[in-house]
């Protein structure tokens, strides 16, 4: 295997790993040789996902732990559980995320706080718990889930957009602070990707969204997983502090895209 393909011997924690992008990233990491702890709040889906991945990749390489990433005790316990089961932590994927829709004038403080707590504070707490464990092994990789919404915000998504903008700044600060320990920190910023969180957007606004995507399709979780595996591999060993857009070209155009030979 090439250095891009092999993560043999690495140990990963994937938050929000029970479905969608997190599940596909876990699948990709396992397929590249890593052992994976799935961490998620949805316990029933978490157990189902763990059984499915264990059947494919071996029970000895898959574990799971219920977690609320916004709770410091729960976050630390999940990272410690990975250490107890597998003997260390090399990779942390801060993928857990929630969304609350509503204009600022109408949004409840509780909804605002919950989105910031999961999307931003959760990444902070899990990273804080992981860094000492990675330091014991001479380094590691942290990947944070951002979004194109951090730079191309939508009305009605104030909390989500603000949380993802915060994730991007946190990524850069963590990259600087953790570099002396041999830890790289990057973020992936998906565009509209087919997951349970985006089902309603795709169903109701597909044509409008596709007009702003140069490649004329929505992302698939497997697209994000392929990027994550690369960023976790030694092939990306000189990449840190980066936010990598994976959006089919959403952010490179200001207006709806037209083919070069279109006269419309």
Check if the beta carbon of residue 16 is closer than 8 Å to that of residue 45. Answer: no
How far is residue 202's CA from residue 223's CA, in Å, rounded to a whole number? 17
Check if the beta carbon of residue 230 is closer than 8 Å to that of residue 132. Answer: no
CB atoms within 10 A of CB 105: 5
- Altogether, the residues listed in the chain come to a count of 264
- Residues in CB range of 124: below 8 A, 6 or more apart: 170
Closest CA to 96 of 30, 25, 154, 165: 25
Closest CA to 85 of 29, 38, 43, 126: 38
3-state secondary structure of 187: strand
Active site residue ranges: 160
For the chain, how long is the longest CA-to-CA vector?
Answer: 63
């Amino acid at each position: 295997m090439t250095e891009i393909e092999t993560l043999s011997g690495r140990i990963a924690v994937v938050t929000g790993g029970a479905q969608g992008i997190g599940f596909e990233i876990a699948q990709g990491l396992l397929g590249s040789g890593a052992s994976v702890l799935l961490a998620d709040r949805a316990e029933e889906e978490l157990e189902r996902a763990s059984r499915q991945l264990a059947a494919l990749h071996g029970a000895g390489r898959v574990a799971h732990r219920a977690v609320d990433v916004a709770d410091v005790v729960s976050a630390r316990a999940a990272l410690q559980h990975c250490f107890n089961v597998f003997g260390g932590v090399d990779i942390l994927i801060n993928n857990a995320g929630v969304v609350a829709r509503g204009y600022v004038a109408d949004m409840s403080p509780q909804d605002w706080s919950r989105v910031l707590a999961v999307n931003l504070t959760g990444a902070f707490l899990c990273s804080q718990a992981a860094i000492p464990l990675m330091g014991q092994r001479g380094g590691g990789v942290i990947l944070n889930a951002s979004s194109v919404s951090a730079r191309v915000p939508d009305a009605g998504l104030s909390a989500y957009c603000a949380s993802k903008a915060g994730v991007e700044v946190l990524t850069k600060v963590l990259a600087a602070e953790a570099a002396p320990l041999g830890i790289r920190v990057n973020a992936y910023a998906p565009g509209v990707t087919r997951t349970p969180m985006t089902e309603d957007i795709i169903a109701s606004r597909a044509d409008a969204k596709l007009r702003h995507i140069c490649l004329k399709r929505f992302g698939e979780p497997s697209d994000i997983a392929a990027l994550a595996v690369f960023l976790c591999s030694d092939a990306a060993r000189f990449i840190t502090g980066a936010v990598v857009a994976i959006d089919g070209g959403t952010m490179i155009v200001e207006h709806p895209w037209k083919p070069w030979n279109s006269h419309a």
